Structure 1
Amino acid sequence: MSAQAHSEAPLVLASASPRRVELLAQAGIEPARLLPTHIDETPYKAEHPRSLARRLSGEKAERARQIIDGERKGQAEDERGPAPFVLAADTVVAVGSNVMPKAELLDEASQCLRMLSGRAHRVYTGLALVTPKGRLRQRVVETRVRFKRLTREEMEAYLASGEWHGKAGGYAIQGLAGTFVVKLVGSYTNVVGLPLAETVALLTGEGFSVHFAWAQGGV
């Protein structure tokens, strides 16, 4: 039994990321709906990676809430049900102040690996929660990661695997790239795409029931 079933207001996840869905499931949370939003993710000039993660997550949450509000206005009042919580996240990988792309092309992924090889980088995930009453709550979680120096063979093999596609910084720590990590300081789940401890704290702080199903053995 999911936590959502015991919260008066349902949870909408403003993402279609399988990784985020899996991480929420690990915490016993099943979103009532996935509502990915499409926004311009281009950083502003001189925008710090932390600020970028915060801004994009907030824009995604607000955009999803706008869509939901539009849908609810078209429904009869007795059909609407309670307004939902809307949760959004955005993960940014950066070396210094340089934001790494979400690699879509092989050349982008190759460039990311060369940049990350033998160096430390930071992973920022912005969390944004719009409450049923329309309040916006936000957090940014930071994790420091260091890669070993990658050989040419390792880079070529990882690029051939295709795991990098669509990933911030051109890698997925929960996959093959986990073998590249020699040091991690902070939240591991943050690097995967959703810092669980902070997400649960944000939800419970606003009254979403996360732990009821745990006590019932229904997770």
Structure 2
Amino acid sequence: MSSLKLIRYGAWAAVVALAIAAGVLVTLQMTQNKGTGGLIEPLSAIGGPFELVDGNGQTVTDKDFAGKPLAIFFGFTFCPDVCPTTLSDLQGWTMALGEDADKLSFAFVSVDPERDTPDVMRDYVAAFGERVVPLTGSREQVDAVIKAYRVYAKKVPLDDGGYTMDHSAAVFLMDANNRFVGTIAYGEAEDSALKKLRRLIANASASS
């Protein structure tokens, strides 16, 4: 087995372990709060303040998303499958939500800022509609938000001298106060994803 395959298998094993751990946390929270009507109780260990730049090179912080729930996803523009599929899913969800989509914010954060400059992010995300805010930044800024959201991201060398990125594939759901309340898994059924998004909207409306 090649060294690249060993690296990739190890990286994906870490992704699976992270997903299982996150699932356990969410399940425990849902069990503890059964019957409360909320999505789940916020898990303060995931999320937090951040400062990045959008596709126009303008500074964007977590405060710019305050007041609305946020669906935020991490990836990179050279991603062959997970990222374009998830962005396409996000586009489909917003269409299915109709006017209710205006009650949510959506963001796509690059884990590969060396290649994903603001203009590259802007042009890439534009292919999937206008609702998703493309975010990148310096290596330090991106590393900080990756750490805050407990995102797995690892550079994997390729035989041709280039590299790809292994990364967490879930969409993180944050409430209007930027508190983590759950995830939408990669490949999750549309009806399940929409149910979570509608509940996120309903909870925000009930608390406002």
TM-score, normalised via structure 1 length: 0.25
Hey, which of these two has a bigger chunk of helix by percent?
2
Larger Rg: 1
| Highest RCO, 1 vs 2 (Cα 8 Å, sep ≥ 6) | 2
TM-score, normalised via structure 2 length: 0.26
